[in-house]
Amino acid sequence: MNKFYSFLQKNKKQYIYFPLALYWLILLVATSLPSKAVPAIGIHDKFEHFFAYLILSTLLALTFYFQEKWKNLNRNWLKWTAFVGIFYGIIDEVHQYFIPGRFCEFFDLLSNTFGIIFGIILVKIFIDKSKISLDAS
């Protein structure tokens, strides 16, 4: 686990920052399309919201954790990930109200939030296990 942690730390631009920017752009474009233009993937839309925000929060959490420019973001990566993720989820849901065939739904926001929380938990587990491995070596 600590090899992967070290790898991400050394290559954060290529494997964390760039994927976050690209994924967020794709997410923004996908949620800006009218519902008729979005292909159905065959799972319940609440799961789509959950997994979309799980991925977003995982990349966001890793970005806040590994960045070194702003210490407050690094020290409080958990809170910042939750704040930015949930804030964006709210903005995205309100934004969809204005897209033909799309809706602003409370349960979509709830699914987004659960995805954000689960992503944060996964990153926290990864970081904690990696730190234990690094401390032991």
pLDDT, mean over the chain? 89
- DSSP-based three-state secondary structure for 101: coil
Whether 133 shows a pLDDT value over 70: the answer reads: no
| More confident call, 44 vs 83 | 83
Separation in Å, CA 47 to CA 12, 18, 41, 111: 28, 25, 11, 7
- Three-state SS letters, 28-56: HHHHHCCHHHCCCCCCCHHHHHHHHHHHH
> What's residue 38's pLDDT?
58
> What's residue 33's pLDDT?
87
Tokens of 83: 């704040």
Domain edges within the chain: 2-32+45-136
Q: How many angstroms separate the first and last alpha carbons of the chain?
A: 12
pLDDT digit string, tens, across residues 81-130: 999 999 999 999 999 999 988 888 999 999 999 999 999 999 999 989 88
